[in-house]
Structure 1
């Protein structure tokens, strides 16, 4: 008898290759999957196929899952690496299509693999967290949020020994909490919010040194939850009592500002499917063809209420993770700055638009060319420059926001922020990302106050050259 399916399918659709390989292995070896199990160690090809068969059995037959797992324990010779890799591939490529029973079984077996310290289990959990969609309040998405958090909370000792998982979970659940806390509703949602608060507070209070692995973006995402009472106290201590965290490397927020956030954190709020589609858009789609791909992307990922919260995460991904080659930069492929401009115009509420603009300019505030990547700050400058001819309102809006950030983001470090913004502009000029700032300096559609303020950030050499050009033009006119 053919066992149940793992994935949802539509009529006339070919069977998914991953499911097909698992099913075929199960059907071929199903007579070997019942006790008593043979004591012989299988050869490598047979061992791999047996792992596939057991994986299918665990996912499709919950009533026999413990038997299959016992079988796996009996034959394992590679630290469970092949088995975990199978689950990881399924999670990365097909999680959204998993049926309810296989999805529950996947989480169950993942929790079991923690207890035996299976190879790649930390990577598998990070993949699971990437499947939790921001701004999505559907029952299935909230269920996944709860179940993953339960497993993590129930395995705290393991979590502390895996700093990458702890810091990743903190990043994910701070972002989710910012979405969930604004939403009133069911008892289940209230329970989830309480779990998220407890988990994040515990991580920050008891393991701040591990939390610091997030780097400067920890400050950015914490600011989204400071209105929650428990985080008001944490924020107050970050500002005025940093010693309370008992970390020698932390004496003020500036210690976080100078820590560049590793790129893998920005992938946490982008599902593998969304990542591949964004990379396709930014690698193959030509100018003039982008609108239909953008419309398709919105329909796929940004159509539900609350999905705007993901736009800031997408902007951070584009700025800090997707760095195209020179060949693509000089081709007819749509530029990163143009996609970000489209995303900004997609924001319907001021709060989400402000978050997206902060995501765009964030590295400008703390940029150090010794440690930071110029590609992180390039899109904002190119968006301002290239919007001048037809969309000067975008240029005006971004300049206004940048100056607002410098003046108000951290008043105690205002001079430092201004210096970093000036250094960012200087580097973009020196490296030839922009050959001239004249479109910003001389555009009459930009208010004189904004142009004058922008001039204050320019390197002295550029100002001298600009002044000489103006003098030459004046003398020619005379």
Structure 2
């Protein structure tokens, strides 16, 4: 009998080591995977091998999956830790290479592991969310998106008691909804959009206290879907009737502005493969040698018609989740600002360009020295300064966009935003991120209005009116 396959392997690729281990364990123990099962208690080595064999059996033999799962329940002694860890490694390293049947089985198995509250099930679910590729509207990708969403809705009681998975799912699906809603598609896509809307609204309405943990990027995501009627109503409540969310201590959206979004949320829209490649690019590739890596990266990740959307997520990842060491900063490795400048050039459509620039400047608008990290705002100022004079159009565009944000992002709180932007400029100078703004103030290629606005924000003593919103601390959320 031919052995069922788990992973697709191209002729020029090395076979996956974990895939080999799973297959070998299955072949070795295949006779033990059928009832009646042995009553002997396995030693640690036997236990590990049996777990590996059962993983392979469940993923490749759907007709016997329930039998294998019963076997797993009978032998488990570690809360499913080794079993789930094996799945996590498989998904992290090889999800794109999983064949169709194993993918389907993986989602079924994950659902069953939720039922038994398996150790590390949260990590597995978050990892699966990361493999929903932004800008990819192919059937397999939309299938994964829909199946995970169905699981979350089906396991609502469990989900609503797990803040990490709940908020991660909300973050991911708000971001995905912004892309999906603009698509005209068939019945399946329309059903998916409906599910995404219902899910996001339900999470926000019923669990808003937990949603606050996402921080200020929740506002950014909501503004990208505010044209959807159901979310427009929710947005109005957030602005004008925050008491409807019934969260003690929360009374104004500016309190959400003041909560910095934790790093792990920015990984959600960057799949593990892309993360590895970006970190390699930003840790090892020398200045001057980056072009071939950029061409390779763009060919791999930006070839689809909708792939510009992921550039926005990459910028947030670079600014907020990848902070190089001082050793790398002082080396000849290509800096973060240069990669962002390249992404800005790659981004052609105005809508995505605007979102990319917002992603770059978002932390400037609400910067607080006590709670924010200077590394989050460093790439923008270095891109602005290092583009003078050769790429002064980039400098002009970025400064113009920043000043437009100050004036228009939140009209009722523009004084607070202006103060935060002024603080950003001041701290970048104080902390030595930049030595001087003279290249900007003396640049005759910048338009006079840009010079005038810039002078206000970099003045030693700002004349901006102060506005200090009440800050809601993490400990107060949901009290």
Q: TM-score range by the shorter chain?
A: over 0.9
C-alpha contact 2:57 2:64 (8 A) present in aligned 1 = yes
C-alpha contact 1:3 1:60 (8 A) present in aligned 2 = no
Partner of 2:289: 289
Task: Indicate how the Cα distance of structure 1 residues 206 and 31 shifts in structure 2: closer, same or farther if over 3 A, else same.
Answer: same
Distance 1:116 1:216 in 2: 34
C-alpha contact 1:249 1:255 (8 A) present in aligned 2 = no
Q: Return the offset for 1:15.
A: 1.9
Matches for 1:50-449 after TM superposition, within 5 Å: 50-449=50-449
C-alpha contact 2:456 2:462 (8 A) present in aligned 1 = no
CA RMSD of aligned residues (A): 1.1
C-alpha contact 1:152 1:159 (8 A) present in aligned 2 = yes
SS at match of 2:457: coil
Task: Indicate how the Cα distance of structure 1 residues 12 and 389 shifts in structure 2: closer, same or farther if over 3 A, else same.
Answer: closer
SS at match of 1:456: helix
Deviates more, 1:30-39 or 1:104-113: 30-39
Q: Return the offset for 1:249.
A: 2.7
Q: Return the offset for 1:40.
A: 2.1
Deviates more, 1:453-462 or 1:397-406: 453-462
Distance 1:362 1:41 in 2: 56
State how many pairs are aligned: 463
Distance 1:57 1:340 in 2: 44
Distance 1:225 1:15 in 2: 42
Distance 1:49 1:459 in 2: 67
- Per-residue CA distance 1:252-285 (angstroms, 9 max, x = gap): 1111001110010000000000000000000011
SS at match of 1:460: coil
- Per-residue CA distance 1:288-312 (angstroms, 9 max, x = gap): 1111111111111111011101111
Distance 1:47 1:273 in 2: 30
Distance 2:390 2:462 in 1: 25
- Per-residue CA distance 1:122-152 (angstroms, 9 max, x = gap): 1100000000011111011111110000001
Partner of 1:471: none
Which structure 1 residue ranges, 4+ long, deviate > 6 Å from structure 2?
A: none
Partner of 2:5: 5
SS at match of 2:194: helix
SS at match of 2:357: helix
Distance 2:214 2:403 in 1: 26
Q: Return the offset for 1:153.
A: 0.5
Distance 1:14 1:232 in 2: 50
Unaligned 5+ segments in structure 1 are: 464-478
Distance 1:361 1:82 in 2: 42
SS at match of 1:161: coil
Q: Return the offset for 1:12.
A: 5.1
Task: Indicate how the Cα distance of structure 1 residues 409 and 462 shifts in structure 2: closer, same or farther if over 3 A, else same.
Answer: closer
1:18 aligns with 2:18: yes
Distance 2:249 2:157 in 1: 23
Which of the pair has the greater relative contact order for Cα pairs under 8 Å at 6+ separation?
2
C-alpha contact 1:308 1:347 (8 A) present in aligned 2 = yes
Q: Return the offset for 1:371.
A: 1.0
Distance 1:115 1:141 in 2: 25
- Per-residue CA distance 1:58-92 (angstroms, 9 max, x = gap): 01111110010000000000000000001100111
- Per-residue CA distance 1:17-52 (angstroms, 9 max, x = gap): 111010011111111111111122211111111100
Distance 2:345 2:316 in 1: 16
Unaligned 5+ segments in structure 2 are: 464-479
Q: Return the offset for 1:13.
A: 3.6
C-alpha contact 2:266 2:316 (8 A) present in aligned 1 = yes
